[in-house]
Amino acid sequence: MRQAPLLLLCLLALALSALACGREADRGAQLLAERVPAERHLLFASGGMEFLDPAKVAETAGHHLMMNVFEGLYVYNRGEGPPVPSMAQRHEVSADGKTWTVHLRPGVTWSDGVPITAQDFVWSWRRVLDPRTASRAAQLLWFLDGAQAYNEGAVADPETVGVHAPDDHTLIIQLKNPTPFFLDLLCEMQYVPTPRHVVEKWGDAWSTPAHIVSNGPFLLTKHENRVVSELVKNPRYWDAQNVWLDKITVLHTESDQTAFDWYEVGKTQWQGDTSLPVDRAPGLRASGRPDFHSDPKLCSYYFSVRVDRPPMDDVRVRKAVNLAIDKERLALHILRGGQPVASNTVPDLFRTSHGYTPLVGDGFDPERARRLLADAGHAGGQGLAPITLYFNTGEGHRLIAEFVQRNLQENLGVQVQLANMEWGSLLKTLLAGDFAIGRSSWCADYPDPLTFLEVFHSQSKANYSGYKSAEYDGVLAAIQAEADMQKRNALLRRAEEILDRDMPLTPLYHYTWSYLLRPFVLGYERHAQDMHPLKYVRWATPDEWARIQHGAVIHLPPLPGDQ
């Protein structure tokens, strides 16, 4: 008899699930009955952007916007293919892998008609590295010979940086070490050119819509941060004839529910950079709706733990916090989006490409957590003031923070106070180091495990934990210098072991990217780094739409690499 209430609850849950699936199936049929818009105008949601200057862009929303306004030597492919030439026509690499000679595409210009030259790249890359620019993403250029020393102020002469232009159409790049993923790095925002003649004229105001000059497929014509951004097709873009969209509107919100509502009522055709509401994700996943997609993504969600602030300056406390969080339950019952649990730093997506097996760290072990906390002199949370956990606005972030708050109270007797703020304020808090535990995440800048490990280099601007280890920095340097894949993988593993030992972060989960996209939108293809240049997007033709309505799934193939 005691099982009867549980049985009734299970039956009720099944009934509600069936109703939800039925509603989602009806919604799927409605989507397939829609008419394809006549206007070539894509609308989607996104959070606000911290910067529009490519030299300073360091967060996902800014990168996803500005990668459509600026392009570097190479750009991300449509899907998982290799990078595609943009400002570059072709390149050669020396036998030792350290010298790249890049030949620029003839006739490329800025949106104001001024020619783009190799000197523009030299000036732009040095500007990113200039300490006065204060770029948090300058570390992405440290692969260039002399770049780190110049960026850190140890050397004042920019000529020591390994990039030079012998003529207007040739760029010579000298790398510190052979870098197999350098072609992918060339797609990053920090490697795009910026217009010197405009930057020097307008100063910090150069990237506002009133003054901005760019070289990408779209022009930024409007930007009201936390409200809206608008882009229109750039007629001077080198490949304008193959850019299908005429206009893009980005509606800013930090509310997952708002973004979802916009999509459902037809205000947008793509959910955008926001997450699905946590309570809707399971039903959408089970519904078979034609607009629902779930892709693996090279991102990790974790808490940065300030290692120089009591009580988190004691590694036993940091380890206790990590062990006291039931991450399996978090993923299965709170997030419910298929996210892999994280016990380490590097996502498990490099086995095939790199032969790398990530470290498996500690799992949920509240008994051991209590012993560690007692060893630190805080049995049952005794003597600990409430710890503040900072997180940014978003329903998913709030649910995670509340779950962790309960876990630490129930399993350790540790009181946690929650501090919610919008993203820009959280970022300032993290950068100032004025916190004990703060919500963080990292998405791959390039497809290699090193991108996740470099975050915790002593000099990394994204090292919000304040973690400094000469041993760890030395292993990172050895990884960059090692060409043998097997030896390199051993060094990668060693770096993960050091982080697991010192615990400057509390890993929670690795990303699975679930999103909604109108079925008639083509050219948005799966990409592990979640990079989708919108110049590839178009609506389905009448014939394609008829096939989609009858159950076909249409994917546009990747583009060829160097011509």
Instruction: Provide the CB-side half-sphere exposure for 366 (13 A, CA).
Output: 14
The mean pLDDT of the chain is 93
Q: How far apart are CA 65 and CA 259, in angstroms?
A: 17
> pLDDT category, 2, cuts 50, 70, 90?
very low
Containing structural domain, residue 443: 295-512
Would you say residue 235 has pLDDT above 70? Answer: yes
* Cα angle, residue 46 at apex, residues 42 and 51 outer, rounded to 5°: 110
The runs of H, that is alpha helices, within 92-238 are 118-129, 147-151, 182-185, 196-202
Q: Which residues, in sequence order, are bridge partners of residue 515?
A: 293
> 550 in a domain, yes or no?
no
Q: What pLDDT score does 214 carry? A: 98
Here the tokens at position 382 are 């005794």
Q: How far apart are CA 522 and CA 128, in angstroms?
A: 35
Strands (E), 208-330: 218-224, 228-233, 247-252, 292-305
Percent of the chain, pLDDT > 70?
96
Cα 56 from chain centre: 15
Amino acid, res. 530: D
Q: How far apart are CA 176 and CA 312, in angstroms?
A: 36
If one compares 563 and 545, the residue with the highest pLDDT of the two is: 545
Q: Give the strand pairing for 41-46 and 247-252.
A: parallel
Query: pLDDT by residue (tens digit) across 145-184?
Result: 999 999 999 999 999 999 999 999 999 999 999 999 999 9
Q: How far apart are CA 202 and CA 213, in angstroms?
A: 11
- Give me the mean pLDDT over the 111-131 stretch: 98
Here the tokens at position 16 are 């509600």
Percent of the chain, pLDDT > 90?
87
Q: How far apart are CA 159 and CA 174, in angstroms?
A: 12
The runs of H, that is alpha helices, within 274-340 are 281-287, 315-323, 327-329
Would you say residue 409 has pLDDT above 60? Answer: yes
> 432 in a domain, yes or no?
yes
> 391 in a domain, yes or no?
yes
Q: What pLDDT score does 337 carry? A: 85
> 136 in a domain, yes or no?
no
Q: What pLDDT score does 17 carry? A: 47
> 508 in a domain, yes or no?
yes
> pLDDT category, 9, cuts 50, 70, 90?
very low
If one compares 562 and 299, the residue with the highest pLDDT of the two is: 299
Torsion angle in degrees (nearest 10) through CA of 181, 187, 188, 189: 160
Would you say residue 6 has pLDDT above 90? Answer: no
Would you say residue 14 has pLDDT above 70? Answer: no
Domain count, the chain: 1
Query: pLDDT by residue (tens digit) across 174-228?
Result: 999 999 999 999 999 999 999 999 999 999 999 999 999 999 999 999 999 889 9
Q: What pLDDT score does 21 carry? A: 58
Q: How far apart are CA 57 and CA 66, in angstroms?
A: 8
Q: What pLDDT score does 99 carry? A: 98
Would you say residue 16 has pLDDT above 50? Answer: no
Is 342 within 8 Å of 507 (Cβ atoms)? yes
> pLDDT category, 3, cuts 50, 70, 90?
very low
Here the tokens at position 485 are 């894949």
Here the tokens at position 219 are 């022009």
> pLDDT category, 273, cuts 50, 70, 90?
confident
> pLDDT category, 20, cuts 50, 70, 90?
low
> 156 in a domain, yes or no?
no
Q: What pLDDT score does 15 carry? A: 46
The whole model's pTM is what?
0.89
Would you say residue 19 has pLDDT above 80? Answer: no
The runs of H, that is alpha helices, within 140-272 are 147-151, 182-185, 196-202, 256-264
Burial of residue 141, with CB atoms counted within 10 A of its CB: 0-12 exposed, 13-18 middle, 19 or more buried: buried
- Give me the mean pLDDT over the 407-426 stretch: 96
> 542 in a domain, yes or no?
no
Is 156 within 8 Å of 146 (Cβ atoms)? no
Would you say residue 356 has pLDDT above 90? Answer: yes
Q: Give the strand pairing for 163-167 and 170-174.
A: antiparallel
Is 350 within 8 Å of 449 (Cβ atoms)? yes
Q: How far apart are CA 237 and CA 30, in angstroms?
A: 37
* CATH assignment of the domain containing 416: 3.10.105.10
**Candidate from 314-323, 393-402, 495-504 with smallest mean pLDDT:** 393-402
Q: What pLDDT score does 531 carry? A: 94
Reply yes or no: is the peptide bond before residue 560 cis, omega within 30 of 0.
no
Q: What pLDDT score does 208 carry? A: 96
Is 305 within 8 Å of 504 (Cβ atoms)? yes
> 179 in a domain, yes or no?
no
